[in-house]
Amino acid sequence: MELIFALVIGTLTATGVYLLLRARTFPVVVGLTLLSYGVNLFLFSTGRLATGQQPVLGSAETYSDPLPQALVLTAIVIGFAMTAFVVVLSLRNLADNEDDHVDGRQPQPTEPSKREREAGSK
Amino acid sequence: MNHWLTAPILIPLLGGILQAFMGYAPIQLRRTLAITTTVLILGASLVLFSMALDGDYRMYAFGNWQPPFGIVLVLDRLAAFMVVMTSVLALFAHIFSLGGSDEGNRQFHTLFLFQLMGLNIAFLTGDLFNLFVAFEVLLIASYGLLMHGGGTIRTVPGLHYVVLNLIGSAVFLISVGMIYSVTGTLNMADLAVRVQQVTGENLQLVKAGGMMLLVVFALKAAILPLCFWLPRAYAKATAPVAALFAVMTKVGVYAILRVYLLVFGDQAGPLANLGMDWLFPLALVTMAMGFIGALGADNLRSLVAWQVIISVGTLLAPIALGSPAGLSAALFYMLSTTWTVAGLFLVASLVAGQRGTAGDRIVTAPPMRNRTFLSVLFMVGAVAAAGLPPLSGFVGKILILQSVPAGVEMAWLWGVLLMGSFLSLVAYSRAGSIVFWRTVDGHLESPPRLTGPTSIAAGALIALTLAIVAMAGPINKYTDATAAQLLDHTRYLEILETPVVGEEN
């Protein structure tokens, strides 16, 4: 279970980071969402993974830690609100600039430098 | 248990909720209530300040849960200092907003008060996860405030700001999780005890968590590799919002002070002074970057925004060295620079309003109205920010320079700070002489008059620098005591033994 859990967290985080580095707002928003899923699962696992245990000390040999679950709940609620906000902001960016590039416009194609021109002519 | 500790949080919460339901009430009523709330916050923070003067720790346990099991609020000298600094600044920024910049969005006052609530939770909390929640509260209010004022110019800087801070929140959660998984606690006092006992492979986990936490705080404080979002966002924000944001980077500095001195302080064994050897060079480079940015700024507001970055670097260099004198000097400088920078943001906005289409760009323009008043304000602010005698920036910088013991660090800090102060002097005099002295023929088509609230607020914030100089002795005594209290961990740990309220009373 630990291996699967770790792989899932790793995949979610890596995908999220990759998408965050894209230049369009839509992948960035999806990347943020995936990243927050990864983070939530990670937080959940900080209380150690156990199934079918009670969150009460002393009643059984092992217990499941209730605190990370409370933390995850808080993080989910906050992350949900933030995602909603960033979606609205991206839509506004699209409406204001008629472009969903994260800088509001496409980067201007730079003039090829002298060396590149020479290399091209050869 | 001291119930006063909840006052700076509950007052803006209730005031903000009231505002949220009053979006369609007459603006005069909303303004009166909002200003009353801010005045009440200032009153409550002064009460906390007077309590903190005796150097004792005061604690409030939510739900009467014995720490470390519940969330606690902790008041000490540092927390009281930050709360008072913020509420004074907030009051003037709020008064400034009455001049008309609170129009256009019915929820401006709501967001402003919620932002204050988030700031006060961050300063008073004694729990790492609660600090995260406080950051989120103040951030989501700041997202709204940053977009306040309409227009398309704020969309892109706002988007960058939001996305960066969301990534920061994710990193914060990961580091909190890593630290919790080893120590099993999030209460800062308990963490300080548990971190000393960490051994073996767990040490690396806590170390990694601590370093990631530093990255998050560095993002909030805008230290060099993570500071490029700041100038554009701050320069585009509405004036009172930019003024209030002058304290936002200081939240990051405060968090570094609180967490790293308490949890990873001298007593933390193998983890002692974690990350501080990274922080010092980064602070110097941040400072240098700020000076270069200030020289290259093409309008007043980005000039002041770069000043924010300069002051963060100046603050963190002595904090990274960690001597009592250095901490005290940093706190003194923080008070001075926060109020001055906020005042300069307000002045820059007033100047922009008087120059027609030239705005606050550093170009020659037709003569502006009210030039004498505004230029005096700008000059006083610039002198205080650049650190020339006799104003408070000078005193702060002298204290910082004096606090460094002779050695390599001293050479670097003196070199960068003095060289940079000269460069920022050049930047301010260039901006001031072009904006105020060099004019071209022509006249402005009826620029708006300066209104009472805006001139009073800007003037008062700038004048505070004179007040700091007049009060320099007592303030320095207080910051000395704060530094001593910060470095003495044993007293903070007594919070864990504080009895909660029993059933019988």
Closest Cβ opposite residue B152 in set A20, A25, A96: A96
Q: Do B133 and A103 touch (CB under 8 A)?
A: no
Is residue B134 less than 8 Å (CB to CB) from chain A? no
Query: How many other C-beta atoms are found inside a 10 Å radius of the C-beta of residue B267?
Result: 16
**How far, in Å, are B33, B47, B83, B231, B241 from residue B93 at the CA level?**
15, 21, 15, 19, 7
pLDDT greater at residue B229 or residue B84: B84
State residue B323's pLDDT score.
Answer: 87
Closest residue by Cα to residue B289 from B320, B310, B308: B310
Tell me, yes or no, whether B503 lies in a domain: no
Alpha carbon separation from A3 to A7, A10, A27, A51, B75 (Å, rounded): 6, 10, 28, 15, 44
User: Which strand (E) or helix (H) includes residue B485?
Assistant: helix B472-487
State in Å, rounded, how far the first CA of chain B is from the last one: 12
pLDDT number for residue A121: 56
**Tens digits of residue pLDDT in B246-288:** 899 999 999 999 998 888 888 777 888 888 888 999 999 999 9
- A71 reaches B (C-beta below 8 A): yes
Is residue B425 one of the residues assigned to a domain?
yes
pLDDT in tens, chain A (122 residues): 889 999 999 999 999 999 999 988 899 999 999 999 999 999 988 888 877 777 777 777 777 888 888 899 999 999 888 999 999 988 988 888 888 888 877 777 766 666 666 665 55
Is B441 in a helix, a strand, or coil? coil
The domains of chain A are located at: 2-51+64-105
Amino acid A118: pLDDT: 63
B140 closest CB neighbour out of A46, A81, A92: A81
Which of A24-28, B14-18, B100-104, B122-126 is predicted least confidently?
Answer: B100-104
Which residues on B lie below 8 Å from A96 (Cβ)? 152, 155
Structure tokens, B248: 């936002």
Q: Is A25 on the interface with B (CB under 8 A)?
A: yes
Confidence of residue B90 (pLDDT cuts 50, 70, 90): very high
Residue B25: band (very low, low, confident or very high) from pLDDT cuts 50, 70, 90: confident
CB within 8 A of B262, min separation 6: which ones? Answer: B188, B189, B191, B192, B486, B489, B492
Average pLDDT over residues B276-304: 90
Fold (topology level) of A2-51+64-105: Helix Hairpins (1.10.287)
CB contact under 8 A, A46 and B181: yes
The answer to whether residue B137 scores a pLDDT higher than 60 is yes
Residues of chain A with Cβ-Cβ distance to B156 below 8 Å are 93, 97, 102-104
**Mean model confidence pLDDT for chain B:** 88
pLDDT of B35 over the 70 cut: yes
List, as ranges, residues 137-196 from B with C-beta within 8 Å of A: 140, 143, 147, 152, 155-156, 158-160, 162-163, 166-167, 169-170, 173-174, 176-178, 180-181, 186
Are the beta carbons of B375 and B436 closer than 8 angstroms?
Answer: yes
Cβ contact, residue pair A96, B178, below 8 Å: no
Q: Is residue B289 one of the residues assigned to a domain?
A: yes
Q: What is the rounded distance in angstroms from the CA atom of residue B65 to the CA atom of residue A55?
A: 18
User: Which residues, 6 or more positions from A115, have their beta carbon under 8 angstroms from its beta carbon?
Assistant: none
Residues in chain B with CB shorter than 8 Å from the CB of A78 are: 133, 136, 169
> Chain B contact for A32, CB < 8 A?
yes
Taking the C-alpha atoms of residue B478 and residue B245, their distance in angstroms, rounded to an integer, is: 25
Q: What angle do CA B271, B275, B278 make, to 5 degrees?
A: 150
pLDDT of A116 reads 60
Q: Which of A22, A67, A106 to mutate to test the interface with B (most CBs of B within 10 A)?
A: A67
Average pLDDT over every residue of B295-322: 90
Question: Which has the closest alpha carbon to B91: B415, B435, B391, B343?
Answer: B343
**pLDDT, position A27:** 93
Task: Determine the residue among B140, B145, B166 to mutate to test chain A binding: the one whose Cβ has the most chain A Cβ atoms within 10 Å.
Answer: B166
Q: Which two tokens stand for residue A18?
A: 């990759």
* For range B69-96, the mean pLDDT: 92
Residue B63 has pLDDT above 80, yes or no: yes
Asked if the model's pLDDT at residue B162 lies above 80, the reply is yes
Per-residue pLDDT reduced to its tens digit, B430-450: 998 888 888 777 777 776 777
pLDDT category of residue B58 using cuts at 50, 70 and 90: confident
The pair of three-digit structure tokens given for residue B190, joined into one six-digit string: 């308990």
* Residues of chain B with C-beta less than 8 angstroms from the C-beta of A104: 155-156
Please give the tally of structural domains in chain B. 1
In a domain, B502, yes or no: no
Query: In B158-193, which positions are buried (b, 16+ CB within 10 angstroms) versus exposed (e)?
Result: bbbbbbbbbbbbbbbbbbbbbbbbbbebbbbbbbbb
pLDDT recorded at residue B496: 78
A8 touches chain B (CB under 8 A): no
Please tell me the predicted confidence (pLDDT) of residue B110: 92
Where in the sequence is the domain holding B467, given as residue range(s)?
3-497
Is pLDDT above 80 for B230? yes
Residue B409 has a pLDDT of 85
- B228 to chain A, any CB pair closer than 8 A? The answer is no
d(CA B88, CA B339): 9
Indicate the residue type of B441.
D
Q: Is the pLDDT of residue B505 over 60?
A: no
Nearest to A42 among B143, B162, B174 (CB): B174
Distance of CA A118 to the CA centre of its chain: 43
Q: Verify whether the Cβ–Cβ distance B155 to A20 is below 8 Å.
A: no
Confirm whether B505 is domain-assigned.
Answer: no
Residue of B163, B172, B178, B186 to mutate for A, most A C-beta atoms under 10 A? B163
So what's the ipTM on this one? 0.87
Query: CA B179, CA A72: separation in Å to the nearest integer?
Result: 15
Q: How far is CA B460 from the centre of its chain?
A: 18
Name residue B60's beta-bridge partners: B73
Residues in A closer than 8 angstroms to B176, CB to CB, are 43, 71
Per-residue pLDDT of B453-491, as tens digits, reads 888 888 999 999 899 999 999 999 999 999 998 888 888
- Tally Cβ neighbours within 10 Å of residue B402: 10
Chain A residues touching B129 at Cβ < 8 A: 71, 74
- Are B155 and A104 within 8 A, CB to CB? yes
The H-or-E segment that residue B73 falls in is strand B72-75
The predicted structure's pLDDT at residue A117? 62
CB B195 within 8 A of CB B271: yes
Sorted by sequence, the CB contacts under 8 Å of residue B328 that are 6+ apart come out as: B399, B403, B476, B479, B480, B482, B483
Q: How many C-beta atoms surround the C-beta of residue B33 within 10 A?
A: 17
| Residue B227, pLDDT score | 84
